[in-house]
Amino acid sequence: MTQARKVALIGTGLMGFPMSRNLLRAGHHLTVWNRTTERAEPLAKHGATVAASAAEAVAGAEFVITMLSDGFASGALLDDREVQAALSPGAIWLDMSSAKPEHSRAQAETLKSLGFGHLDAPVSGGTRGAEDGTLAIMVGGEAAHFDAARGVFEAMGRPVHVGPSGTGQLSKLANQTIVAVTISAVAEAMLLVEQGGADPAAVRAALKGGFADSTILQQHGERMTTRNFDPGGLTKFQVKDLNNTLDEATALGLTLPATQSVRDRFQYFIDEMNGAERDHSGLYLELRARNGLPV
């Protein structure tokens, strides 16, 4: 049985809210805070304590989870003197936001200098994975901190320690590169079978279990052909992750042509088709527009 721990979770948005519910279901003592309080308040009926400030949320917590928009947001919170002063001795900060590896390394150094632990632990699996507690969790940082936090992570998904600080974020960038390029390939496949007269649902069923099968084919392929682009993974965050991937590649002296191409297409979807707040499977609409088809 997992030991109940005192956990603070900051950022109860599309991902943070269901992650909070799973932490509560696992028996952890949870305090939550969100800049927009209304997004955190419903968690009270599930057993969470809703804090009035970030500093109040982290006070007494053994583990502090941040699920925010990027490394700038989590870094600003971590650098807040009131938050630092409220941290409990030995607390470990679990940044589950998607950020640049360099941000995670800097945050780890800051916390280490103050006597606290840090793990960069971005996730994959989208809102469905967050709701089901099946997120893939890529964790960078000290092995001892990972071992201490394992029970907390396991309430939300499947954690794997991938290396030192920053490598969790590096793994997420690799994940997002695969996701983005695969979305592009699935969009082309779905458009091809639609225009050729095949039943897209039947094609997905035919491919299920084969070498071309994937979660993206089954879930996002369905989104594309049913035109359901309500956000699970926001396009604006997909572009943010691809920009981080390309920045990291440049720092390593690498050229990633497929990543660059699909990043530019997502940016077009944002700039010219108002796609920022739509699901990233909406790249299918950019493909239709590129082919002169109605969107």
Q: Kindly report, residue by residue over 5-26, the tens digit of the pLDDT.
A: 999 999 999 999 999 999 999 9
pLDDT score recorded for residue 288 = 98
**Burial class (CB within 10 angstroms; exposed 0-12, middle 13-18, buried 19+) of 271:** exposed
119-136 residue pLDDT tens:
999 998 888 899 999 999
236 is catalytic: no
**210-214, long-range: CB within 8 Å, 24+ apart, which pairs?**
214/182, 214/186
User: Which residues touch 188 (CB under 8 Å, ≥6 apart)?
Assistant: 287
Whether the predicted pLDDT of 94 surpasses 90: yes
pLDDT score recorded for residue 18 = 97
Please give the average per-residue pLDDT across 174-181, as a whole number: 95
- Of 6, 100, 172, 208, the active-site residue reads 172
pLDDT score recorded for residue 233 = 87
Number of alpha carbons in the 13 Å side-chain half-sphere of residue 157: 26
1 pLDDT tier (thresholds 50, 70, 90)? low
212-257 residue pLDDT tens:
999 999 999 999 999 999 998 899 999 998 999 999 999 999 999 9
Please give the average per-residue pLDDT across 50-76, as a whole number: 95
Whether the predicted pLDDT of 145 surpasses 80: yes
pTM exceeds 0.75: yes
Whether the predicted pLDDT of 90 surpasses 90: yes
